[in-house]
Amino acid sequence: MSQYYQIKTRTALGEFHRKPIIAPKSRANYIINYTRATQRTNPKFNSQVLFRERVARNKSLPRISADGIAQERVHELATYESRINSSIETDREQEQCLLQHPTPPPPVIRAARPEDVEDILRLIVDLATYEKEPDAVKATPELLRTNLFGPTPYAHAIIAYVPASDKPVGLALYFFNYSTWTGRPGMYLEDLYVSPEHRNFGLGKALFGALGRIAREKKCARLDWSVLKWNSPSIAFYEKTLGATQMSEWVGMRLDEEGIARLERFELGGPAKGMEA
262 — pLDDT class (breaks 50, 70, 90): very high
Q: Where are the domains of the chain?
A: 3-100, 108-266
List active site positions: 238
Q: What is the DSSP string of 71-136?
A: HHHHHHHHHHHHHHHHHHHHHHHHHHHHHHSPPPPPPEEEE--GGGHHHHHHHHHHHHHHTT-GGG
Question: Is 0.85 topped by the overall pTM?
Answer: no
Predicted confidence at residue 190, as pLDDT, reads 96
Quick one: pLDDT at residue 106?
A: 78
Residue 49 clears pLDDT 90, i.e. is over it: no
Three-class DSSP category at 222 = coil
Between residues 6 and 108, the one the model is more confident about:
108
pLDDT at 9: 43
The per-residue pLDDT for range 93-103, each reduced to its tens digit, is 777 766 665 56
Please give the pLDDT value at position 17: 45
Backbone angles phi, psi at 71, to 5 degrees: -65, -40
Contact 233, 240 (CB under 8 A): no
CATH code assigned to 108-266: 3.40.630.30
